[in-house]
Amino acid sequence: MSVPVFSRDAVLEAVSPQDAYAAVRNAFIAHHRGEWVMQPKIYVTNYPAGDFRAMPAIGGGHALLKWVTSFPGNPALGLPTVTGLVVLSNSETGQLEAVLDAASVTALRTAAAAVLAADTLGVENGPSVAVVGCGVNGAETVRMLVAHGRTPVVWDADEARRRFVADQFGAEVAGSLDEALARDAVVTVTPGRDVLFSEGSLRPGQHVSLMGADGPGKAEIATRELGRARLFCDDWEQASHGGELAAGVAAGLLARDDVTELGAVLAGAAEGRADGEDVTLFDSTGLAIQDLAIARAALLRSVEMDLPRLEL
């Protein structure tokens, strides 16, 4: 058997931001309809260093497993926070069809979900957008926004990093963290060590895509602030156990009926924003069906690309 291997660069060459956005949108809808299926991700932990995640999914004629890490202290060691592999198989024959770099697949699908949620749940007519946290996944979110004709302001705790990402994508650096957090739509992609939105800080009409707190013990928003917003998530099972909402559930502040899955809104089965004064929060933990969407989109391009192959 011989299968194509997609490096980081090959994934980004194969799947444009526009293709990633469309594929992830379709995946959320297929998941809502029960056509694409996944188990909640399994965390294999080695805290405080970090954790490993095993993420399986099936749909669209393929099955996938992503084995991926989150080691927040790695940048200080000169290592990436997120690394791993995606394995894509044919779901009819079980045959392996591709192996892909997990970090780039993750970044594309995370950025796509962040912008998709902001587009779906934010106020209409091109609101001002900010991205807070400009690491690997934040930078990809900036690229995704720019590819969709939006120019965000960016903020990162690291001054050199925020300038680098702004320059790379023609974005602007915000004057301060508070200025970034006051935008109409905010995407947060930090390690979740610091609460960005304190109690009482959300503004009427604001949308926030909370991408960074995707595991136990992380938070980008004060737990009580969740009660001031209409709540959305990518997947209730995952988000109520390992995401931002988990703290609200543990504190008895919210339950299943208080939270709507993004796929239901995209499929037209649930209401999103009700009016311009609503505050909407999207809690993302990252779904294997999103990875499946990106891996399938990459595979479609493999024939026309000169990719190295894994001989088994």
Cβ proximity to ligand NAD: between 97 and 291 the closer is: 291
Taking the least distance from each CB to ligand NAD, the nearer of 75 and 227 is: 75
- If the CB atoms of residues 206 and 209 are measured against ligand NAD, the closer one turns out to be 209
State the residues that interact with ligand NAD by CB under 6 A: 70, 75, 81-82, 106, 110, 132-138, 155-158, 161, 189-192, 194, 211-212, 214, 218, 284-286
Strand order in the sheet with 259-261: 172-173, 153-155, 129-132, 185-188, 207-210, 280-283, 230-233, 259-261
Alpha helical stretches, state H, 129-235? 136-147, 159-169, 177-181
**Tokens 């604001």 found at:** 206
Give the alpha-carbon dihedral of 171, 174, 177, 182, to 10 degrees: -90
Angle between helices 102-121 and 288-301 (to 10 degrees): 110
Q: Identify whether 41 is a catalytic site residue.
A: no
Alpha helices in the chain (DSSP H): 8-14, 17-32, 102-121, 136-147, 159-169, 177-181, 236-242, 244-250, 262-266, 288-301
Single out the catalytic residue among 25, 32, 41, 66. Answer: 66
Distance of alpha carbon 108 from alpha carbon 95, whole angstroms = 25
Q: In a 3-state reduction of DSSP, which class is residue 54?
A: strand
Give the nearest distance from C-beta 142 to ligand NAD in angstroms. Answer: 11
The nearest distance, CB 95 to ligand NAD, in angstroms, is 28
**Rounded least distance, CB 92 to ligand NAD, Å:** 29
Q: Which CB sits closer to ligand NAD, 98 or 108?
A: 108
| Distance of closest approach, residue 302 Cβ to ligand NAD, in angstroms | 24
CA angle 291, 196, 25 (to 5 degrees): 25
Task: Provide the minimum distance between the beta carbon of 255 and ligand NAD in the complex, in angstroms, as a whole number.
Answer: 22
In this structure, are residues 97 and 88 in contact, taking their beta carbons and an 8 Å threshold?
A: yes
- Minimum CB distance to ligand NAD smaller for 99 or for 134: 134
Question: Phi, psi (5° rounding) for residue 5?
Answer: -115, 120
Catalytic residues: 66
